[in-house]
Amino acid sequence: MDNRINDIRRTIRALRVSMREAEAIMHEQINRDEDCSFVAQEVIKMRSVMSLLVKERTALGDFEPIVVSSFFIPRRRSARKLAAAQAPTVESVFRPRSVARA
């Protein structure tokens, strides 16, 4: 029975990482105004599988938290914010420059 709990924990850990990656892809598609319905359906399927695994794990008596070390997935900045950040401002173009005199 202990092996079954370890298998479930391993599967949950991998599923959580996959879900985070799929959610990041989905957010990128949303930012680009693309259709993300396929990825969203896959996330919903993963959540239903996760729910069943958690119920089975709880029924076996495992209540310890499952820690995922690589939970943070860096996201790229949206194209609108990136374009606004790169546009020169009046202050950056016409700022006085200090010149060292010898």
Mean pLDDT calculated for residue range 58-79: 72
Mean pLDDT calculated for residue range 49-64: 92
* DSSP conformational letter for 69: T
Mean pLDDT calculated for residue range 33-59: 94
Q: Is the pLDDT of residue 90 over 80?
A: no
Nearest to 53 by CA among 22, 13, 20: 13
Q: Is the pLDDT of residue 92 over 60?
A: no
Mean pLDDT calculated for residue range 41-70: 89
What pTM does this model have? 0.62
Q: How many CA atoms lie within 13 A of 62 on its CB side?
A: 18
